[in-house]
Structure 1
């Protein structure tokens, strides 16, 4: 709307808004209402498909642990843009997301767990022994495998992974930083090589003997630290470990198991140790699974 040229005031100066009579001097169809429209700010145009305003400050969003990394963008004006699928899985898809402002940008990984529209979600129930869904109605729905139950289950796994990542990252373990949790979407650090490309899984690499030994030391330390916290990964293998130039990063932790609280905890820990020992031995670095298990489990008690 536009403001009509106001009549001159008695001293010959143009009338100010304070001089206007809103009942006589403004055309209600073409002019501003000085009591309501002067502070009006038009909403921005709707963003194209694949983009959204950053959800960082939205109500209900869980933010990652302090201290926030230097690369994290928390500005309200940031825009999140889907860049494409990085990985598809039975329970979740991982999509690359760019969060950008006029001056800064960062690429992150968004893990989006499948909800009740998908029937592929299946985690071994052994992982969840010792865990408890708060509401009895939700527990019954999960037990029955209803549509609502599958949606609850997806949200529980997303929440579990966010919680474990937050705990492990705060303890200094090599895991991606969990940026935020929004329902069944977990936004986290995108682990890259020095050139910015995505880090490969350990199973895809052929490290030198020296680097292989360094990777094993890092994994042993991480496993011992987790055991001291009462946890084991539960599904640790060369496919759930990323390898950068000089370090390994453990991923996919929603099924982490409480070694003591879960009756099958010791067996999950033993399996993690066997998987690690088998892979490193196959690459030429002899690792005894029982010896590794003895080293790790000593930290749990």
Structure 2
């Protein structure tokens, strides 16, 4: 397919070889299936703030750190530079959370690169190697439902131990993946983390944690 403008620079830099197809368009990003060498990955393109339906509520961005005091002052004043800095911080929050959670053993997509507002990460797949379905799109037996519920509560606890609260966890941002390595059963993978909050640094973290659970 034709390379979307936002992915053109990554193609020119050799980070992406081929854009295969569009995978989905959500409230805050568009996701494409791409080829990087011999691997199939996904590229998440963050929508501009004025084109998103998910607003950067103060509850989510409270106490998020930025690179320097100039950025912090600009964000507080709401200047153009401040809005740009806030947008960059919103996008990098997911990248930071993914690296942090992957290192802690939480089942999230493995991040590979972040450039020009595009996140390159693992394509979570099903038993056929296709993009994994969302939990919302799958039917379960009572036994399966209880197993996945127990797994997800454990993942939420593991996230909390890593100091992260998802903040928007639902059946729409959990994928049901298949492990092709050892033939084990399907397992849930948690996605969509730009609104993730620091468990210790955000005063709303406890409320968000309870809502997630």
Aligned residue number for residue 26 of structure 2: 89
SS in 2 for 1:119: helix
* 1:133 lines up with 2:133 in the alignment: no
- Cα offset, 1:151, TM superposition: 3.3
Q: Does 1:227 align with 2:160?
A: yes
Structure 2: gaps spanning 5 or more residues:
179-185
Contact 1:155–1:183 (Cα < 8 Å) also in 2: no
- 2-side partners of 1:87 and 1:143: how far apart? 34
Q: How many Å separate the matches in 2 of 1:89 and 1:151?
A: 21
Contact 1:178–1:186, Cα closer than 8 Å, also in 2: yes
How far apart in 2 are the matches of 1:151 and 1:80? Answer: 29
Structure 1 gap segments, 5+ residues each:
1-47, 57-78, 274-301
Report if aligned partners of 2:101, 2:162 keep a CA contact under 8 Å in 1.
Answer: no
Q: Specify whether residues 241 and 49 from structure 1 end up closer, same or farther in structure 2 by C-alpha distance, changes over 3 A only.
A: closer
Instruction: Give the equivalent residue in structure 2 for 1:260.
Output: 200
**C-alpha distance in structure 1 between counterparts of 2:106 and 2:212, whole Å:** 17
Which protein is richer in helix relative to its size? 2
74, 99, 120: which one aligns with 2:51: 120
Q: Report deviation, 1:148.
A: 4.0
Aligned residue for 2:149, secondary structure, equals helix
Which whole-Å CA distance do the structure 2 matches of 1:84 and 1:224 have between them?
35
1:141-290 to 2 correspondences below 5 Å? 141-143=74-76, 145=78, 147-245=80-178, 246-273=186-213
Q: 1:271 to 1:179 in 2, by over 3 A?
A: same
Q: SS of the counterpart of 1:219? A: helix
Normalised by the length of structure 1, the TM-score is 0.60
In 2: Cα distance, 1:151 partner to 1:85 partner = 26
What SS class does the counterpart of residue 51 from structure 2 fall into? coil
The structure with more radius of gyration: 1
Q: Secondary structure at the match of 1:181?
A: strand
SS of equivalent residue, structure 2 residue 42 = strand
Shift of 1:216: 1.1
Matched length: 198
RMSD: 2.2
- Classify the secondary structure of the residue corresponding to 2:106: coil
- CA drift of 1:168 comes to 0.7
Q: What SS does structure 1 have at the residue aligned with 2:85? A: helix
8 Å contact from structure 2 (residues 76, 82) kept in 1: yes
